[in-house]
Amino acid sequence: MQNQKSKICPPARAVIIDKGDILLCQRLDIPINFYFLPGGHIEDAESAHEAVIREVKEESGAEAKIKRFLGCLEHSFVPGHNSICHNHEYNFVFELESDELKKDKELVQMEDHIKLVWMSLEDLDAIDFRAEPLKRLIPKWLKMDFNSAFGSHMTALN
């Protein structure tokens, strides 16, 4: 991005799959209807592992645990409706599992600005999904083993 100072954000994102469907967040508080992975900003002095677990709990009320690291996507965009605070992200994406987050259980909606929904992985191409490159990367990452690809001195890796 030329002539524009980037504001960088490192969100930790969750991929939660049940019966072939993926759990997504649908944005409700702006005029643009789009979807994104559960998760959010990594706070100061917080590890990516801690952030993704905390964010999933804040959004769904559910306990979850990290199954594995899937990948990291660097993504830049023009600031606007999808973010007024930053325009450059390093998305740390983890596969999570939860006994409480299942397709056959009612989803608890903990935050007014988002709605949690289940969607088929095949339907990602048909929706406005952000960050868009994750549409291609998530299915690819789910087929690979990246368990040792992410390390942090802030969290003991199991």
- Residue (of 24, 44, 26) closest to 34 by Cα position: 26
pLDDT tens, 19-43? 999 999 999 988 888 999 999 999 9
- For residue 68, the SS3 value is strand
Task: Check whether 1 has a pLDDT greater than 50.
Answer: no
pLDDT recorded at residue 80: 55
Any residues with CB less than 8 A from the CB of 95 and at least 6 apart, and which?
Answer: 14, 15, 16, 17, 66, 67, 68, 69, 70, 142
Least confident of 50-54, 56-60, 136-140: 136-140
Beta bridge partners of 25: 36, 116
Is residue 77 within 8 Å of 65, Cβ to Cβ? Answer: no
Place of tokens 């997504």: 24
How confident is the model at residue 156, as a pLDDT?
53
Residue 75 vs residue 84, higher pLDDT: 75
All structural domains of the chain: 8-142 (3.90.79.10)
* Of the listed ranges 59-63, 65-69, 129-133, 154-158, the one predicted with least confidence: 154-158
Radius of gyration of the chain (CA): 15
Q: What is the DSSP letter of 61?
A: S
The DSSP string of 19-41 is TTEEEEEEE-SSSS--EE-SEEE
Contacts of 54 (CB under 8 A, 6+ apart): 46
Backbone angles phi, psi at 117, to 5 degrees: -140, 150
Alpha-carbon distance of 78 to 130, in angstroms, equals 13
The per-residue pLDDT for 2 is 41
94-127 pLDDT, tens digit per residue, is 999 999 999 999 999 999 999 999 999 999 999 9
Share of the chain above pLDDT 70, in %: 84
